[in-house]
Protein backbone atom coordinates (compact mmCIF):
# COMPACT_ATOMS: atom_id res chain seq x y z
CA UNK A 1 0.00 0.00 0.00
CA UNK A 2 1.38 3.39 -0.92
CA UNK A 3 0.30 5.80 1.82
CA UNK A 4 2.33 8.82 2.84
CA UNK A 5 2.28 8.44 6.61
CA UNK A 6 4.43 11.56 6.96
CA UNK A 7 1.62 13.54 5.32
CA UNK A 8 -0.88 11.92 7.67
CA UNK A 9 1.25 12.93 10.67
CA UNK A 10 1.45 16.50 9.32
CA UNK A 11 -2.32 16.49 8.93
CA UNK A 12 -2.69 15.30 12.54
CA UNK A 13 -0.51 18.20 13.70
CA UNK A 14 -2.55 20.65 11.64
CA UNK A 15 -5.80 19.32 13.08
CA UNK A 16 -4.47 19.63 16.63
CA UNK A 17 -3.28 23.19 15.94
CA UNK A 18 -6.68 24.14 14.56
CA UNK A 19 -8.45 22.54 17.51
CA UNK A 20 -6.31 24.61 19.86
CA UNK A 21 -6.94 27.79 17.90
CA UNK A 22 -10.69 27.24 17.84
CA UNK A 23 -10.65 26.72 21.59
CA UNK A 24 -9.18 30.18 22.12
CA UNK A 25 -11.57 32.07 19.81
CA UNK A 26 -13.69 34.73 21.45
CA UNK A 27 -17.15 35.37 20.02
CA UNK A 28 -17.28 38.97 21.21
CA UNK A 29 -20.81 38.43 22.46
CA UNK A 30 -19.69 38.98 26.04
CA UNK A 31 -18.66 42.53 25.11
CA UNK A 32 -22.29 43.38 24.30
CA UNK A 33 -23.78 42.15 27.58
CA UNK A 34 -24.01 45.61 29.14
CA UNK A 35 -25.06 47.42 25.96
CA UNK A 36 -28.72 47.89 26.89
CA UNK A 37 -29.01 48.29 30.68
CA UNK A 38 -32.43 47.69 32.16
CA UNK A 39 -33.47 45.31 29.38
CA UNK A 40 -33.37 41.52 29.07
CA UNK A 41 -30.54 42.00 26.57
CA UNK A 42 -27.82 41.02 29.05
CA UNK A 43 -29.52 37.69 29.83
CA UNK A 44 -29.93 37.00 26.12
CA UNK A 45 -26.27 37.84 25.44
CA UNK A 46 -25.11 35.69 28.33
CA UNK A 47 -27.12 32.72 27.04
CA UNK A 48 -25.87 33.26 23.49
CA UNK A 49 -22.26 33.56 24.70
CA UNK A 50 -22.58 30.31 26.63
CA UNK A 51 -24.07 28.54 23.60
CA UNK A 52 -21.37 29.81 21.25
CA UNK A 53 -18.57 29.01 23.71
CA UNK A 54 -19.91 25.48 24.15
CA UNK A 55 -20.26 25.01 20.38
CA UNK A 56 -16.67 26.18 19.80
CA UNK A 57 -15.43 23.76 22.46
CA UNK A 58 -17.34 20.90 20.79
CA UNK A 59 -15.85 21.79 17.40
CA UNK A 60 -12.34 21.78 18.91
CA UNK A 61 -13.07 18.46 20.62
CA UNK A 62 -14.26 16.95 17.34
CA UNK A 63 -11.13 18.06 15.54
CA UNK A 64 -9.05 16.51 18.33
CA UNK A 65 -11.03 13.26 18.02
CA UNK A 66 -10.46 13.30 14.26
CA UNK A 67 -6.73 13.90 14.81
CA UNK A 68 -6.62 10.95 17.23
CA UNK A 69 -8.30 8.71 14.64
CA UNK A 70 -5.98 9.75 11.81
CA UNK A 71 -2.98 9.23 14.09
CA UNK A 72 -4.15 5.69 14.91
CA UNK A 73 -4.63 4.93 11.21
CA UNK A 74 -1.16 6.25 10.41
CA UNK A 75 0.41 4.14 13.15
CA UNK A 76 -1.53 1.06 12.04
CA UNK A 77 -0.46 1.55 8.43
CA UNK A 78 3.17 1.85 9.45
CA UNK A 79 2.93 -1.31 11.56
CA UNK A 80 1.11 -3.22 8.83
CA UNK A 81 3.60 -2.08 6.20
CA UNK A 82 6.50 -3.17 8.41
CA UNK A 83 4.88 -6.53 9.14
CA UNK A 84 4.26 -7.11 5.43
CA UNK A 85 7.87 -6.21 4.63
CA UNK A 86 9.10 -8.55 7.36
CA UNK A 87 6.92 -11.39 6.03
CA UNK A 88 8.22 -10.88 2.49
CA UNK A 89 11.80 -10.94 3.77
CA UNK A 90 11.13 -14.19 5.64
CA UNK A 91 10.07 -15.94 2.45
CA UNK A 92 12.84 -14.37 0.38
CA UNK A 93 10.73 -12.02 -1.73
CA UNK A 94 12.00 -8.78 -0.29
CA UNK A 95 15.55 -7.63 -0.55
3-state helix, strand, coil in the chain (%, to 5): 75, 0, 25
Residue ranges of the domains in the chain?
Answer: 5-22+40-90
Reported confidence tier of residue 94, pLDDT bands at 50, 70, 90: low
From the number of C-beta atoms within 10 Å of its C-beta (0-12, 13-18, 19+), residue 59 rates as middle
Question: Using CA atoms, how far apart are residues 23 and 21, in angstroms rounded to an integer?
Answer: 5
**pLDDT tens track for 30-42:** 999 999 999 999 9
**pLDDT tens track for 28-85:** 999 999 999 999 999 999 999 999 999 999 999 999 999 999 999 998 888 887 788 8
CA-based nearest residue to 34, from 26, 45, 25, 50: 45
Amino acid sequence: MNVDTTALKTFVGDLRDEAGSIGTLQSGIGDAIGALPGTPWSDTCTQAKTSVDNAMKRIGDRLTTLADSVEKVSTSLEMTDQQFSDDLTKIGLHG
